Structure 1
Amino acid sequence: MENKYITVAYKLYAVTDGEKELREEAPASHPFQFISGIGYTLERFEKEILALKKGDNFNFTIPCAEAYGERDEDNVRQVPKSMFCGPDGKFDSDNIFEGNIIMLNDAEGHQFYANVGEITEDKVVLDLNHPHAGKDLIFEGTVMEMRDATNKEMESILKLMSGEGCGCGCDSCGGGCGEHEAEEDGCCGGGCGHCHS
């Protein structure tokens, strides 16, 4: 299968106890851009989108088991508060606060997200479950573009996935990433955080 460059505008709803809640949106003015066949998105999401063509609307549900799985309480951990103190011993309250999602690295350098829970005098609770774990996901939107990916686009996305960044000059997602054209300096186009696997 050839790698396709795909752009979609969508709304993502999570279903909890039968209630549908808007959790994420990639509007037409700032769509989600990805390349198929490299494991960047949920497998089921990619399969559903690849069955469509430019201009098609979509509305599909990905069951919890094919999305992020069930919540696992073993993935909720207490860690020493000192892990988040600088050399001066001061706790990093600017970044470590209840409800914030932070990026951590394991011993092998793999990056992963954690949701900060309760903070006590000497402990921080981290929830390592994906924020959408335990939920069915509903995607509604439109395929804005679908074509063969160029070599330059492939290089850019592989650089992004390797942790080098998207090459657009932003230091992290949300720091200006995607605020210019995807072709400009190899920008990821703002696909940061959307339906990643």
Structure 2
Amino acid sequence: MTIDDHTIVTLTYEVRDGGPQGPLLERMDVNHPFKFMFGVGKMLPAWERRLFGLKANMGFSFQLAPEDAYGVPSKEHILQMPIHHFYNEREQIDPALLIEGQFVALTDSNGKAVNAKILKWDDKIVTLDANHALAGKTLFFSGAILEVRKATVDELIKKAVL
């Protein structure tokens, strides 16, 4: 069976920064493979295009430019928030919260969770970077398809509900 919309794909992969010899960013191996439903909008579209039509026991390797992956960093995603948004119920700031380089979870105006990295702060303003952590990076993927199968009725129903 080939990878197509609504198939369940199990695969291994490595993703590296910049190319095949770049620093390893993430690995999913045979002991902890990655499993997902193909073609339902949950994965990077360019990533899925590279996997479309592959079969079990086939390998893959490809590179995605930032524009095809997580985009290029945007100044629009550098946020400044009043420091009082970081106060606890006693109107204090936990010293472990405001650490340069640490990620915090925010909620956007649509109620969606967004991770943002703390860049700096003072007694009034916290400056955060809400660009994706991999924005601006060229990503090199390599791996192997372990299994491709039709989605079960239950899996299709769960996808429709999610």
Same fold, judged at TM 0.5 (above): yes
Quote the Cα distance in structure 2 between the aligned partners of 1:128 and 1:87.
25
Rg (Cα) greater in structure? 2
Quote the Cα distance in structure 2 between the aligned partners of 1:149 and 1:95.
42
Q: Aligned to 2:60, which of 51, 58, 74?
A: 58
- Contact kept in structure 2, 1:57 and 1:142, CA below 8 Å: yes
TM-score (norm 2): 0.84
Instruction: Name which structure has the greater RCO, CA cutoff 8 Å, separation 6+.
Output: 2
Unaligned regions of 5+ residues in structure 2, if any? none
Q: Aligned to 1:136, which of 135, 138, 141?
A: 138
Q: Aligned residue for 1:14?
A: 17
In the TM superposition, residue 114 of structure 1 has moved relative to its aligned partner by: 1.5
Deviations 1:146-196 (A, max 9, x none): 11112322344555xx5xxxxxxxxxxxxxxxxxxxxxxxxxxxxxxxxxx
Deviations 1:117-147 (A, max 9, x none): 2233332221111111112110011112211
Quote the Cα distance in structure 2 between the aligned partners of 1:135 and 1:100.
19
Percent of pairs with identical residues: 28
Quote the Cα distance in structure 2 between the aligned partners of 1:93 and 1:50.
47
Where 2:67 maps in the other structure, the secondary structure is helix
Where 1:65 maps in the other structure, the secondary structure is helix
TM-score (norm 1): 0.71
Where 1:58 maps in the other structure, the secondary structure is strand
Change beyond 3 A, Cα 1:92–1:5: farther
Where 1:33 maps in the other structure, the secondary structure is strand
In the TM superposition, residue 100 of structure 1 has moved relative to its aligned partner by: 2.5
Where 2:54 maps in the other structure, the secondary structure is coil
Q: Counterpart of 1:6 in structure 2: which amino acid?
A: V
Report the aligned-residue RMSD: 2.4
Given the alignment of the two structures, is residue 102 of structure 1 paired with residue 141 of structure 2, yes or no? no
Given the alignment of the two structures, is residue 5 of structure 1 paired with residue 8 of structure 2, yes or no? yes
Q: Aligned residue for 2:39?
A: 37
* Total equivalences in the alignment: 159
Q: Counterpart of 1:10 in structure 2: which amino acid?
A: Y
Where 2:99 maps in the other structure, the secondary structure is coil
1:1-197 alignment runs, 5 A limit? 2-15=5-18, 20-157=22-159, 162=162
